Every structure is written in structure tokens, then in C-alpha cells.
Amino acid sequence: MNQPKEYDDSNSLQYRDIEDLVEEFPEVFKKMKGRIIDIGCGPGNITKGVLLPAVGENATIVGADLCPYMVAYAEQNYSVTNKLSYMQLDIQTPELPNNLIEKFDNATSFYCLHWCRNTKGALRNFYQLLRPGGKAIILTISHHMIFDVYSEQREDPRFSAYMQDWLKFTSPQHGHPDAEDILRNDLNDIGFKIHHCSNRWKTFTYPRMEALIDLVMSVNPFVMRLPADLQKPYREDFEKRLKDKHLPKKDYSSGCSVDCCIALLIAVFEKPHY
């Protein structure tokens, strides 16, 4: 697979939102010292480019991701000797390895937990990973229009056979007006002390429709399952559904910008001392 040497998405939705998070909670990040685990680090570019400069000077970060390819890529392109390394980890595992339990002083996770159907189980593992007094900050999607389109397309006879597990790729909070309360209850049940929890809508503007669809297709889990002759119709159908039902009404054929609304859950929480 041909890949650029480094991911360049400094203008992406994820980059913007995580940089905004650092600006909103600068002291939370600055006070992060010791060992930090970044859950769902992906290719490592944001872990190195945004998180590492924001935390305490003496902190060391371990980026963790489920995908072994991502971990290998991050290790090759975004590691920093004695400061930033990577490992493979399934944050939804029912049993964490003993060598990770209470080995981290802080934890972060950005744009990851919406992939976890068992969010509470994942957060329980956060509790296990953290030492007493350890803090965590997370940002995850609670609502996105692409999940609505998944729900619609799985009813289309052309695509339904390839989308039977569509819920696996949909945020468990999607469509819930009380997403913040759900997260608060989970954190409280696990035993965390909550410092902040909010669910807020944000808008990201893409320069043109093609840029939005390119991004959506790049993270869409169903495209590569489709036969070659269905991939273009699937893309066209996705774009039509967005225009017809989920985006502001205007003439996108003229190359105008596209405003995409997204709801984000943000939480800062702490594992109490025994």
C-alpha cells in the first residue's frame, strides 16, 4: 500500500477540534506528567503534533491503537526517543494485560470512543489503566450525519448485504438527546470523579462537496466490501442523501463550501485516591 511518509491533515476536522480542546483546557494538559496513554492514536500524527507539545515537559506518552498497521506506521514515522512510543491495545478488551494495570498517570482519547459499542467497558479500562489520582480527557462523536446515512443505506437492497453490521460503525450515543447524561452516569458508576462533561454542536466547513465526500469515503467501512461496479453508485447515493436530507439546501454543483454539523462529547475525569 502506497502511503505518504507523513499524514498531513493539519486542516482536518480532528486536528481543529483537538487543538480547540487544548486551548479550552490548557491547564489540564500542562499538568499531565509522568506516563500518559493516548487511546486510539491512529497514525500518531496528532499524538506527536498536538498532544506532545501540550503536556508537561517531563511527560512520556504511549500511543495505543487497535490496528497493528497503524501502530507500526506511527512507530516508524511519529515516535520520539524517550518521549513517545506506540503499542497495540484493544480498549474494549474484557481483561487488560496485568503489565498495564495502574501504570499510567494520565489518559487521553480523541475521536476514538465512538467506535466502541461498549463505551462503559472501555471507560472501565481507563479506570484500570490509571493510577489513583490519574486524570483523563476524552473527545468523541455523539452525533454525525454520516451515521444517519448508514442507517438509511442499509435498507437499500443494492447495499444492504454489505452493511449488516452497520451499528458496529455507529456511535452508541448517536440519536440520543441525553448523550451527556449517559456518559455522566457511566463515569459515575465506574467510580470516576467528573471535572467536566458536555455535549456540544460544532460546524466544520469543507471547501467543496467533493472534499467532504472524499473524507467520508476514506473512513467508510463498507466501500471496500462492495463489488467494483457498486462503489461509484454507493458514493453517488451517499452524496445525494446528504444533499437531500442532511445538509443546508443550496446549489453544491457550483463548487460552494459545505457546512457539516457534528456533536461532540467532551469529558475530564479523575480516578480518586483510595
Please report, for the chain, the start and end positions of each structural domain, with discontinuous segments joined by +. Answer: 13-144+172-205+263-270
E strand spans, the chain: 35-39, 60-65, 84-88, 104-110, 130-144, 193-206, 258-270
pLDDT of residue 177: 87
- What is the model's pTM? 0.90
pLDDT of residue 4: 40
The CATH code that applies to domain 13-144+172-205+263-270 is 3.40.50.150
pLDDT bracket for residue 2 (50, 70, 90) = very low
Check whether 7 has a pLDDT greater than 50. no
C-alpha 222/C-alpha 227 separation (Å) is: 11
Check whether 140 has a pLDDT greater than 90. yes
pLDDT of residue 5: 43
Query: Residue 236 contacts by C-beta under 8 Å, 6 or more apart in sequence?
Result: none
Report strand pairing: 35-39 vs 60-65.
parallel
pLDDT bracket for residue 175 (50, 70, 90) = confident
pLDDT of residue 85: 98
Rounded alpha-carbon distances, angstroms, from residue 162 to 153, 154, 167, 186, 225: 10, 8, 12, 32, 6
Nearest by Cα to 159 from 215, 242, 245, 229: 229
